[in-house]
Amino acid sequence: MPGCPECETDLNIDVDEVEEGDVIICEECGTEFEVVGVDPLELARVEEGIEEEDDLLAEDEEE
Ligand SMILES: [Zn+2]
C-alpha cells in the first residue's frame, strides 16, 4: 500500500476501486495524485498552478 509521498500518510487506496486517470487527494496534506497505473499502482503528483483558460470570460463589454 503506497503512502503519500508528501506526508507519508497511508492513502488507503483500494486498487479495485481506482483506475487510470482517477485523482486521489491525500486527506492529511491535501496533495492531489493522479493514478497513472494500477498494476502496479502508480501515482503521480498533480502539479498545482495550472492556469485554466478563463480569460475569455473576463469582462470585456465592447459596443
Ligand atoms: Zn499527504
Q: Are 23 and 32 in contact (CB under 8 A)?
A: yes
Q: Domain limits at 4? A: 1-32
Cβ-based neighbours of 31, under 8 Å, separated by 6 or more: 4, 5, 6, 7, 25, 45, 46
pLDDT given for residue 13 in this prediction = 87
pLDDT at 50: 57
Ligand 1 centroid to Cα of residue 31, in Å, is 6
Number of domains in the chain: 1
Cα(62) to centroid of ligand 1, in Å?
47
CA of residue 53 to ligand 1 center, whole Å: 28
How many C-beta atoms lie closer than 10 Å to residue 43's C-beta?
A: 22
* pLDDT tens-place values along the chain, 63 residues long: 568 888 999 988 888 999 999 999 999 999 999 999 999 989 999 986 655 566 655 666 666
Give residue 52 CA to ligand 1 midpoint distance, Å.
24
Neighbours of 11 (CB within 10 A): 20
Q: Model pTM? A: 0.65
Q: Is residue 54 part of a domain?
A: no
57 within some domain: no
